[in-house]
Amino acid sequence: MEEVIHARGHEHVSAAHASTFEVTTDDYLTPAGDCILAIDADRAPADFDPAFVRACRNADATIAVTLEADGHRDSVEGRGDPDLAFESDRSAVGRTSEHVDERTILLEAAFAAEGFDRDLVEALADGADLTVTITVKG
């Protein structure tokens, strides 16, 4: 099962955060938003199919997030959790920790914003269009 989000990069994308990564529906980004990979997302967790959300709420689920922009591609995996709410209408956040809030889409990610391919990050900083594919297995 998968969900797809379309967004775009921004000149302030730095992808320097060590514990989270985020895609937001906001149409702006300040330099302080070092976890944000893209803005102007066309969807948020509250828009996801209920069956997809149920699958992500399985503690044994593997959730993969694949980012594609300007010919560059990178993926990170984490896990699902029964406490995932998928209620945010603003942001989707992946976390290396076990912290859950309304924005969280996966826990215990293998890496956060700082771990994404630097060529991909550079393309996003140049404003490239981004496709985010979130896949759940298990």
In the chain, domain spans: 2-137
Residue 105 pLDDT class (50, 70, 90 cuts) = very high
Architecture in CATH of 2-137: Sandwich (2.60)
The residue-averaged pLDDT of 94-98 equals: 98
Whether residue 124 contacts residue 13, with contact meaning beta carbons closer than 8 Å, is answered with yes
Q: For 15-50, what is each residue's pLDDT tens digit?
A: 999 999 999 999 999 999 999 999 999 999 999 999
Residues 111-134 pLDDT 10s: 999 999 999 999 999 999 999 999
- Looking at residue 27, what is its pLDDT? 97
CA-based nearest residue to 126, from 8, 6, 16, 2: 8
The pTM score is 0.96
Share of the chain above pLDDT 70, in %: 100
3-state SS assignment for residue 120: helix
- Cα–Cα nearest to 48, from 106, 105, 112, 113: 105
Query: What per-residue confidence (pLDDT) applies to 10?
Result: 98
